[in-house]
Amino acid sequence: MKIAIFGKRRQSTEDVIHITSLLERLSSKGVFICIDRNFFDAMHRLTGTPLNADDVFEDDDFCADICISIGGDGTFLRTARRVAAKEIPIIGFNTGHLGFLTEHSISEAPDLVVKLINGDYTVESRSLLEGKGIGGKVKAGVSGWGFALNEIAILRQDTASMITVNAMLDGMPVASYQGDGLIVSTPTGSTAYNLSVGGPIVQPTAPCWVLSPIAPHSLTMRPLVVADSHVIDISVESRTDTYRVTLDGRSLILPIDVRLRLRRASFVTKVIHTDDHNFIDTLRTKLLWGISKRGE
């Protein structure tokens, strides 16, 4: 078995110990370990000793049976970008904060090695949004990698004035959202930016998108759930000549005459779950979902 490992560059002393233990356990089981160059170099600087690796790779020059992401949800999103259309299953070990995608603690990692090697896990397919710019000077992807596992957000830029985000589904007008912007969220991203603006929590495997306005100027504007089979066209009106688009936190500025076309990507991100973790359990542990704080 071959496992590719990605991770954030800053790790606590305690987490470094768990990471080293994980690699030792993988090696003892005969796993071929390949590590992302940035993570490898960062850990070398932290410990003064190179990690136990069979190979060190850069960019997308890797192949593996499983990918391990060590960090928070941001690290997991970056790992998903690196995996992209390879569709290699990813498991996340949390050394960050809340961690909806990285549902396992790094302290659990060494004990899960046998499950990974034996295939004792399930794999969920998560849909991604593909974003393209149309018109103006943008003809291809809206960034270097025009896909988002969590969300694509359309935001006002360099002004306190509201913007108007016009949304269409398969050419049919839906609404003109006046306010600070609009979030188009995947089911995976429903517990991210979407949740912070009052959007609904969605089961990660549901075939839908969520359109959630940001600080809408009208009380009638509410989050809308639509099928992910739709193509969403976006145009923006603003007092300025530009607006901001973010894809999972990666930000760029677009001219006002550039429209966006959002659709389901042709590939998925595969997320590994063990039998003792599921979406509802994650809601309970991360959001205290359904847990009463009232006295008996």
pLDDT at 103: 80
Transcribe 51-71 into DSSP letters: ---SEEE-TT----SEEEEEE
- Residue environment code for 140-170, b if the CB has 16+ CB neighbours within 10 A, otherwise e: eebbeebbbbbbbbbbbbeeeebbebbbbbe
DSSP state of 207: S
Per-residue pLDDT at 294 exceeds 90: no
pLDDT at 144: 64
Per-residue pLDDT at 296 exceeds 50: no
- What are the DSSP E strand ranges found in the chain? 2-7, 32-36, 55-57, 66-71, 90-94, 104-105, 122-126, 129-134, 147-148, 151-155, 163-169, 172-179, 181-185, 208-214, 224-227, 232-237, 242-247, 250-255, 259-264, 269-273
Per-residue pLDDT at 270 exceeds 90: yes
For range 267-288, the mean pLDDT: 83
DSSP state of 3: E
Residue 73 annotated to the active site: yes
For range 172-190, the mean pLDDT: 97
Can you list the pairs that 7-10 forms with residues at least 24 positions away whose Cβ atoms lie under 8 Å? 7/36, 7/39, 7/42, 7/43, 7/69, 7/70, 7/71, 7/75, 7/95, 8/39, 8/70, 8/71, 8/72, 8/74, 8/75, 8/95, 8/96, 9/38, 9/39, 9/42, 10/42
pLDDT at 143: 56
- For the chain, the distance separating the N- and C-terminal CA atoms, rounded to the nearest angstrom, is 51
Band of residue 138 on the pLDDT scale cut at 50, 70, 90: low
Query: How much of the chain exceeds pLDDT 90, in percent?
Result: 73
Considering the candidates 59, 61, 65, 73, report the single residue annotated as catalytic.
73
**pLDDT tens-digit map of 197-225:** 999 999 999 999 999 999 999 888 999 99
Q: Which residue has the higher pLDDT, 137 or 36?
A: 36
pLDDT at 168: 98
Q: Which residue has the higher pLDDT, 284 or 8?
A: 8
Q: Which two tokens stand for residue 265?
A: 């990507």
Q: Are 167 and 235 in contact (CB under 8 A)?
A: no
Per-residue pLDDT at 44 exceeds 70: yes
Q: Which residues pair with 172 in a beta bridge?
A: 169
pLDDT at 205: 94
For range 179-189, the mean pLDDT: 97
**pLDDT tens-digit map of 61-101:** 899 999 999 999 999 999 999 999 999 999 999 997 767 88
